[in-house]
Structure 1
Amino acid sequence: MPSLDQLKMFIAAAETGSFSAAGRVLGKGQSAVSTAIVNLEVDLGFELFDRATRKPQLTQDGERMLAHARAVLMQLDNMTSAASSIFAGDEVSVRVMLDDALMLPSLSNILIEFGTKFPATRIDLMSNVSPEIPGMVAQGSADIGLMFSGGMVQKGVEQVFIGNLPFVSVSAPDYPLSKLATVSANELLSHRQLLLRSPQGSVLDQFPALSTQVWYATSFHTIRQLVLQGVGWAYLPEHLVSPSIASGHLARVNLRFEHKLWSPPVECIKLKHTRMGPATSWLFESIKNVLS
């Protein structure tokens, strides 16, 4: 069976183009590298390098084996990192519950960095409607919550205001409201509005009903699809609709009573009076900057 030293010497020789250069990189003599690769070839049953030229060239079989050798060493590095993470006392998992409208690119970057820093800790990412998230965190169903603020103090959780997320009012390009240069509050009354509401009937005060015809959904992504299909108009997070507005698949509804983009507050929450582990603590502190 190939040893790790043999694989390291094989990779170094392939990358540097010579056995002597590989030896210098690894702090070994050329003869040690050459012997290790010959023994590896014997173990595998085929040649890895063509030695007919001045500098050894990878054979076709050698090219195929190089990818496998790199994968073995990468797995070893991952295992070593995971072992260090476990030894440091990192958690088995961190459960994050968020409103799906807050699955921002900046949050994805944070999660990628988390995976590098805490390789032995799993992320359980769950979505829910903002009004239900404080109760789920308070009950211990999630370690961290990311949600639109309900504008009140929530029992059992620590709340941290982290910023505001811009929303825009949109409709399909052929929807009647999009034909108007500006739209008054009275003109909204007769046009169907799509709003967010939890299965339990909870709504956020920051999402007001401005129409006599209101339909509800439990996800901003679902509402976006309904708006794209011409079902009605809605307030939606700017980052969810900007590409569709730019491509002409959605149109801005220019509300006369809006001078600036409506930007409801966002909170990051956790259970009160609990000590977080290193992974959860790092993620909680990092998510605070997701809107920065």
Structure 2
Amino acid sequence: MLDSLNLDQLRVFMAIVEQGSFSAAARHLRRAQSAVSNAIVNLEGALGVALFDRSGWKPELTEHGRALLADARAVLERVDQLKSRARGMTQGMETELSLVLDVMFPMQKLVDLAARFQRTFPGVVLRLCIDALGGVPQRVLLGECDLGVQGSLQEIDPELVGHRLPEIEMAPVAAPRHALSALDRITDDLLRGHTQIVLTDSSARTKGCTFAVFSENQTLTTDLGAKRALLHAGLGWGFMPRSFVEDDLGAGKLVELDLAACNAGIRSMPLFAVHRRNASLGPAGQWVLDTLLESMGGEIQQ
């Protein structure tokens, strides 16, 4: 009968595996060796299989023991997660945090942030959304996301609190075979005659707005990966976050264009961490905001 199985037996099982012997597990758990042995006998009885071969001087996992080890570890991890989430609830911890990031946000910083979040808040579900332009503040304003990092838009909605983050360096690029790639000091007149790949969005907040658009002919996309693929294919030129195309520039898959009139305002893109004024961030949300400000050197905008 599995009814007699309990978590303590599983923890003893894991301790023996990790410590290498019954006696070492007993010392680690601060129990009598007989209590450890009894726990395993009872566990084996509940499961109906032998977990250890005790014929040698050192206990060895049986075939069944090896097969059940991962399951035992998973059960204990889920129990620890359950306890962590319950403990967090009593302290006002969120059960879930939703974060929306502008598509231009550096991917490695996102990975680092998510990894640190998992280690710090193992009981909180992190939901990540990627959007562009006005889509980020719109999701936060509608309450779909607790916290956002918006790009391109300099103005912060009055209903949001904005925290300025370091700007993203942008590079005008095209495929090596593109007509503009061989030219120096490219003028605005020349740019107008070549298709520009432009990132856009579907939010009402940026309807009719364009950012750093020079060309009369444009191909619009809401996806940065699609924009990169179009640039690779030589179907136009466009501005890309330098961190996103560094490898392409190094490998010669894209080249940086020499724009004569490319001022500092379009060589970088502002980033702002935003959250609603009328909704306080929980401990996990505040940690994400503080981590963004600390790791990227940001400051409160308004």
Q: Give the structure-1-normalised TM-score.
A: 0.88
Q: Is the 8 A contact 1:164 1:291 kept in 2?
A: no
SS, match of residue 40 in structure 2: helix
Aligned length: 291
Q: Is the 8 A contact 1:95 1:124 kept in 2?
A: yes
Q: Is the 8 A contact 2:99 2:129 kept in 1?
A: yes
Gap runs ≥5 in structure 1: none
Deviation of 1:93 (Å): 3.0
Q: Does 2:250 align with 1:252?
A: no
Note the alpha carbon deviations across 1:89-127, whole angstroms, 9 max, x for none: 222433323322215221232233333433443333333
What are the residue-to-residue correspondences of 1:43-82 with 2, within 5 Å?
43-82=46-85
What is the distance in 1 between the residues matched to 2:113 and 2:272?
A: 17
Q: Does 2:131 align with 1:128?
A: yes
Q: 1:35 to 1:93 in 2, by over 3 A?
A: closer
What is the distance in 2 between the residues matched to 1:271 and 1:238?
A: 30
SS, match of residue 130 in structure 1: coil
SS, match of residue 97 in structure 2: strand
Q: 1:132 to 1:155 in 2, by over 3 A?
A: farther
Q: 1:281 to 1:253 in 2, by over 3 A?
A: same
What is the distance in 2 between the residues matched to 1:136 and 1:23?
A: 53
Q: Does 2:32 align with 1:16?
A: no
Q: Does 2:42 align with 1:39?
A: yes
Note the alpha carbon deviations across 1:2-53, whole angstroms, 9 max, x for none: 2222222222222222211111111112222222222222222222222221
* Partner AA of 1:77 in structure 2: D
User: What is the match of residue 291 of structure 2?
Assistant: 286
Deviation of 1:284 (Å): 2.4
User: RMSD between aligned alpha carbons?
Assistant: 2.5
Q: Does 2:213 align with 1:209?
A: yes
User: What is the match of residue 169 of structure 2?
Assistant: 166
What is the distance in 2 between the residues matched to 1:109 and 1:248?
A: 28
Q: Does 2:231 align with 1:230?
A: no
SS, match of residue 264 in structure 1: strand
What is the distance in 2 between the residues matched to 1:119 and 1:6?
A: 24
What is the distance in 2 between the residues matched to 1:66 and 1:122?
A: 26
Deviation of 1:283 (Å): 2.1
SS, match of residue 201 in structure 2: coil
What is the distance in 2 between the residues matched to 1:131 and 1:142?
A: 14
User: What is the match of residue 272 of structure 2?
Assistant: 267
> Percent of pairs identical after alignment?
31
| Aligned partner of 1:242 among 236, 241, 246 | 246
Q: Is the 8 A contact 2:174 2:232 kept in 1?
A: yes
Q: Is the 8 A contact 2:106 2:243 kept in 1?
A: no
Deviation of 1:247 (Å): 2.8
Q: Is the 8 A contact 2:104 2:151 kept in 1?
A: no
* Partner AA of 1:278 in structure 2: P
SS, match of residue 67 in structure 1: helix
What is the distance in 2 between the residues matched to 1:24 and 1:158?
A: 54
* Partner AA of 2:252 in structure 1: G
Q: Give the structure-2-normalised TM-score.
A: 0.85
Q: Does 2:111 align with 1:111?
A: no
Q: 1:203 to 1:287 in 2, by over 3 A?
A: farther
What is the distance in 1 between the residues matched to 2:82 and 2:118?
A: 13
Q: 1:145 to 1:51 in 2, by over 3 A?
A: closer
What is the distance in 2 between the residues matched to 1:74 and 1:195?
A: 46
Q: 1:237 to 1:51 in 2, by over 3 A?
A: same
User: What is the match of residue 300 of structure 2?
Assistant: none
Moved more, 52-61 or 183-192: 183-192
Q: Is the 8 A contact 2:106 2:244 kept in 1?
A: no
Q: 1:45 to 1:164 in 2, by over 3 A?
A: same
